[in-house]
Structure 1
Amino acid sequence: MSADSPAQPPTRPAPGAAPGAAARATARGRATVPTPAQRQPPRAGSDFLQLSAPDRGIGGPGLTDWLTAQIRAAIIDGRLGAGTLLPASRTLAGELRLSRGVVVEAYRRLTDEALIAARRGSGTIVLARPSDPGEDDGAGQPTATAPLLPNSPTLPAGAAGPDPTVRIDLSPGLPDLAGFPHQEWAAAGRRALAGATASDLGYGDPRGHPRLRAELADWLGRSRGVRTHPDGIVVVNGVAQALALLAQVLLRAGQTSVAVEDPGSRGAREQFEYWGLSTERLPVDHDGADTAALQRLSVRTASLTPAHEFPMGVVLSPARRQQLLAWAEAADGLLIEDDYDAEFRYDRPPVPAVQASAPHRVAYTGSTSKTLAPGLRLGWLVPPKHLLAEVVSVKHATDLGACVLPQLVLAQWIGSGRHERHIRAVRTRYRQRRDALVSALQGGLTGRAPFVLHGVAAGLHLVVGLPELTVPDTVLAERLLRNGIRVQPLSWHAIAAAPRGLVLGYAATSADRLREAGTEIAEQVLALR
């Protein structure tokens, strides 16, 4: 945070002084000439916002909530425009006669919400203003007739751009994009480019750059127990491309169907169906995918999320893992293991990948979409050896290979140890956010409406089951969206009839907004009983 400049004689306000200083000097009849520093973006002070701290009987957390809400509202309604320099935390705390810790925490929360950002050497500034839910941007007629829920519920969060009607987005699948390590990633990029050769920038191996594949083989072996060699890894544009490549390989081999979890990833299901594979329902219970049901299906391939089943959050039990592997051997089958967020386990280390037990039966895939950002489009596929050549052939025909420069940066990022340090840091942040959401849901529903929380021990989302909800969960989701809170109904992810509930992502939302959302969700559930 920047510190305010020391006071100067009243006829010449100091560069960077609060606007009120110039106003007071002018009021005394002495005109002032703006200095170059005073022509910088306006500085906001408590006098500008007309802030007055509430009753001193309010404790620290209450004061922090109050200050956060006041500054947030000023940003949203335009009183604090993009580029406005906020007062230093010590200065604002002194003006409001608050603990500096209250201001520091309020600034931290607003930073988490991507409303402000600290700039080295220039202090804390306001970022681009989000749209107000009721604002008319003048671009055409009001969209009152537009559907409240998107026609394609599997469209990734944010894919259609920001929705001005949404103030809190709890769509699952996004990490904290506001917390992306920009400076560290840029530093890794500079080092990667400094070490890049001319040949690195040419048409390369369609499997991906050997430097990244070597780093991935080492890291996946250490963190997930994956058994592979760098030559056995194919760098892909996210898990979606891994599934697309596998679907095409399976079709070439004469397979026509694949088993998918239910409830399960609708995006994965639609990916297979897009390429021409039919999908067969594989029920999920408290032990994970039902292997007895799998044996009754006429399929030789099953796609699963065994470390943290999406969306229910179940870990595939040891007995089911053994049964699954036995099925794959007996059927000469293939298991597609989507290890989408296993890095985020909060109660104990994650279970090793299923691939570690049977590399010849498992196609293992993962990406940086949950650990860093989906926009990087960086992932990996470790197919069984007998499928590797065919996968590489399809990959080459698709795009010749993934973009090289991001691969070199990721190789540098992993090799320097920064990836693991980043995961440890955000894991702590996500645990705190999960706790805030869970606490709000429990506080609003316990003793008032039956509910069950699923998947809270890991990942970036949880499921709140609502066994006595009297309307479809899509109706509840619509009511919440009318109030500016986006959630996903559990039924979106089901093939057969599913228990009613909501899928709530929490990684990309600050703790105080999660508490607000959890309280609103509880109120809407009670209103629909």
Structure 2
Amino acid sequence: MLWVPIDRDKPIPLTRQIYTEFRDKILRGDWAAGFKLPSTRKMAQELRISRNVAIEAYDQLFAEGYIESRQGSGYFVAAGIYLEQFARGQERPLPSAGDQPEHLIDFRSGVPALEQFPRSLWGKTVQQVCHDAPLSAFGYNRPEGRAELRDVLSRYLYRTRGVQCTPEQIVMTSGATQALTLIAKVLLNRESCVLIEDPITQDIQSIFTSTGARLCPVPVDEYGMNMHSLPSPLAGSRPRFAFVTPSHQFPLGTTLTIQRRIQLIQYARSVDCYIVEDDYDSEFRYESPPISSIQGLAPERVIYIGSFSKILSPGLRLGYLVLPETLVERYHKAKWLSDLHTPSLEQLALGRFIEEGHLEKYISKMKKLYKKRRQCLIEALRRTFADRATIWGEAAGLHIVAAFDGISFTPDVLTALEAAGVRVYPVEEHAIGKGRHEDKIVIGYGNVSEDGIEEGVRRMGIVLSR
């Protein structure tokens, strides 16, 4: 009898285990073409399994062409299947609940306090929506999203962010990443130039350059994008758009002043380009009300991006674009070709969640929590490093930037920090023009407890003091 290891404690069905073992032996050449397999009855007896399990495994191998049936003789290995260099592979282990060691304190930015997500309330809302939703919500829907949510969202954005738009100007997306990808797809090509903050998250750079477009970096200082560094309107090709994170710049955390916002609008009008405003965590300001959007000052010129990943949960994958009226039809087509439409039931649940006032109550609650965590982080840095660490950024968002006098965050330093059980993120990896931010790291605190923050900073102090 052929030896086939099976493990009844594995979460993998016995049929799949047998199929995988037989397939691997055939691909490796352990069983050559014409090799006769045992009967399903005999295999079931030897392995002490149901014969139906053996039959299902053989049926799968037969359907995929690994074995062939000869009437009256049984099953044989088919010809021409040996795969050179096929590595002996076992089924990949199922992913564990965590992707990193338990002791690791990860100061990743942009992650909200996942343990605070209102599971019960959100679950009830989804259940109600699923019960009450019209039949149309269960079919194919419009690419721009459900009208119910876009109507609620247009009123919410005007009230909280000063965004001026009709529901028809909103396109729902699967998070901000899809919104950025759609912008790149519609507006950029190989001849395009994009004005972009420097530094800015590496992912955004990659999305824009994937079209072949050229990035034109504009340095960021303590007041946001430096308008004096914008290229002259007469200097070559005009940009397709200027990309900014004005409410809380990533990664440096600064806020674009009103004077510079007006200058940027005037510049965009002079060169006839758009402004792409990424308002990714604008709700969380701890010492002043939220800053109004640029879009409210120039709706015809600004493409506004928002997301609920930082407010509620990245797992919801809900974001949106607010478009100038002249671009709406083009983005409907691009969204349709991208993924038809964003999931409808989640949109209806979010619309009800906002309309019933739950979102604003949740934001108010989370601002108090994040303010405490931010203060805890700043105090721990000052206690550990005194005046050797300088804090960058407004009292806003879910991260700070810390600059350390005399320290360069090289790969060796980052490796040493990780070995000590703390993970931080260098600003330099987001810089387009290299060499100006080697002393700075991004420290996210949204998803780290106060105890974790203090312990993480303590570990940083031990490593960096060397």
- TM-score bracket, normalised by the shorter chain, equals 0.7 to 0.9
Matches within 5 A, 1:194-213: 194-213=131-150
Correspondence 1:509 to 2:458: no
Match of 1:270 in 2: 206
Q: Which of 178, 181, 198 lines up with 2:118 in the alignment? A: 181
Match of 2:170 in 1: 233
Correspondence 1:477 to 2:414: yes
The aligned amino acid for 1:207 is: E
Correspondence 1:222 to 2:159: yes
Match of 2:332 in 1: 392
Q: Which of 352, 372, 395 lines up with 1:457 in the alignment? A: 395
1:295 alignment partner, SS class: coil
Match of 2:321 in 1: 381
Deviation at 1:303, TM superposition (A): 0.9
Is the contact made by 1:295 and 1:327 (CA closer than 8 Å) also made in structure 2?
no
Is the contact made by 2:420 and 2:463 (CA closer than 8 Å) also made in structure 1?
no
Alpha carbons of 1:198 and 1:390: their partners in 2 closer, same or farther (altered >3 Å)?
A: same
Alpha carbons of 1:223 and 1:374: their partners in 2 closer, same or farther (altered >3 Å)?
A: same
Q: For the pair shown, which has the larger CA radius of gyration, 1 or 2?
A: 2
Q: Which of 446, 462, 465 lines up with 1:523 in the alignment? A: 462
Query: Greater shift after overlay, 238-247 or 268-277?
Result: 268-277
Matches within 5 A, 1:288-327: 288-296=224-232, 298=237, 299-327=239-267
Match of 1:242 in 2: 179
Is the contact made by 1:169 and 1:486 (CA closer than 8 Å) also made in structure 2?
yes
Is the contact made by 2:188 and 2:240 (CA closer than 8 Å) also made in structure 1?
no
Alpha carbons of 1:166 and 1:303: their partners in 2 closer, same or farther (altered >3 Å)?
A: farther
Deviation at 1:468, TM superposition (A): 1.7
Alpha carbons of 1:363 and 1:518: their partners in 2 closer, same or farther (altered >3 Å)?
A: same
Matches within 5 A, 1:92-171: 162-164=99-101, 167-171=104-108
Q: Deviations over 1:305-357 (max 9, x none)?
A: 00000011100011111110000100111110000000000000121000000
Deviation at 1:520, TM superposition (A): 1.9
The aligned amino acid for 1:291 is: M
Alignment partners' CA distance in 2, 1:244 and 1:416: 32
Deviation at 1:161, TM superposition (A): 5.8
Match of 2:310 in 1: 370
Alignment partners' CA distance in 1, 2:401 and 2:451: 19
The aligned amino acid for 1:402 is: T
1:354 alignment partner, SS class: coil
Match of 2:78 in 1: none
The aligned amino acid for 1:310 is: F
Count of matched residue pairs:
368
Correspondence 1:287 to 2:223: yes
Q: Which of 423, 426, 436 lines up with 1:486 in the alignment? A: 423
Deviation at 1:472, TM superposition (A): 3.6
1:513 alignment partner, SS class: helix
Deviation at 1:466, TM superposition (A): 1.6
Match of 2:436 in 1: 498
Higher relative contact order (CA 8 A, sep 6+): 2
Is the contact made by 2:243 and 2:275 (CA closer than 8 Å) also made in structure 1?
yes
Deviation at 1:498, TM superposition (A): 2.4
Is the contact made by 1:244 and 1:275 (CA closer than 8 Å) also made in structure 2?
no
Match of 1:9 in 2: none
Alpha carbons of 1:463 and 1:188: their partners in 2 closer, same or farther (altered >3 Å)?
A: same
Correspondence 1:256 to 2:196: no
Deviation at 1:160, TM superposition (A): 11
The aligned amino acid for 1:357 is: L
The aligned amino acid for 2:180 is: L
Q: What stretches of structure 1 of length at least 5 have no aligned partner?
A: 1-138, 141-157
Is the contact made by 2:173 and 2:320 (CA closer than 8 Å) also made in structure 1?
yes
Q: Deviations over 1:349-385 (max 9, x none)?
A: 1210000000111000111110011111100101111
Alignment partners' CA distance in 2, 1:212 and 1:381: 13
Alignment partners' CA distance in 1, 2:246 and 2:230: 14
Match of 1:349 in 2: 289
Match of 1:430 in 2: 370
Alignment partners' CA distance in 1, 2:288 and 2:430: 27
Alignment partners' CA distance in 1, 2:313 and 2:333: 28
Match of 1:75 in 2: none
Query: Which TM-score applies when normalising by structure 1?
Result: 0.67
Deviation at 1:477, TM superposition (A): 2.1
Q: What stretches of structure 2 of length at least 5 have no aligned partner?
A: 1-89
Matches within 5 A, 1:1-16: none
Correspondence 1:444 to 2:384: yes
Deviation at 1:467, TM superposition (A): 3.4
Deviation at 1:427, TM superposition (A): 0.9
Is the contact made by 1:473 and 1:501 (CA closer than 8 Å) also made in structure 2?
no
Deviation at 1:250, TM superposition (A): 0.8
Alignment partners' CA distance in 2, 1:210 and 1:453: 43
Deviation at 1:509, TM superposition (A): 0.7
Deviation at 1:221, TM superposition (A): 0.7
Alignment partners' CA distance in 1, 2:191 and 2:147: 32
The aligned amino acid for 1:479 is: A
Deviation at 1:523, TM superposition (A): 2.9
Alignment partners' CA distance in 1, 2:256 and 2:383: 30
Alignment partners' CA distance in 2, 1:282 and 1:372: 31
Alignment partners' CA distance in 1, 2:242 and 2:255: 16
Q: Deviations over 1:485-512 (max 9, x none)?
A: 1110111111112221110000101101
Match of 1:33 in 2: none
Is the contact made by 1:166 and 1:481 (CA closer than 8 Å) also made in structure 2?
no
Identity of aligned residues (%): 36
Alpha carbons of 1:439 and 1:171: their partners in 2 closer, same or farther (altered >3 Å)?
A: same
Deviation at 1:190, TM superposition (A): 1.6
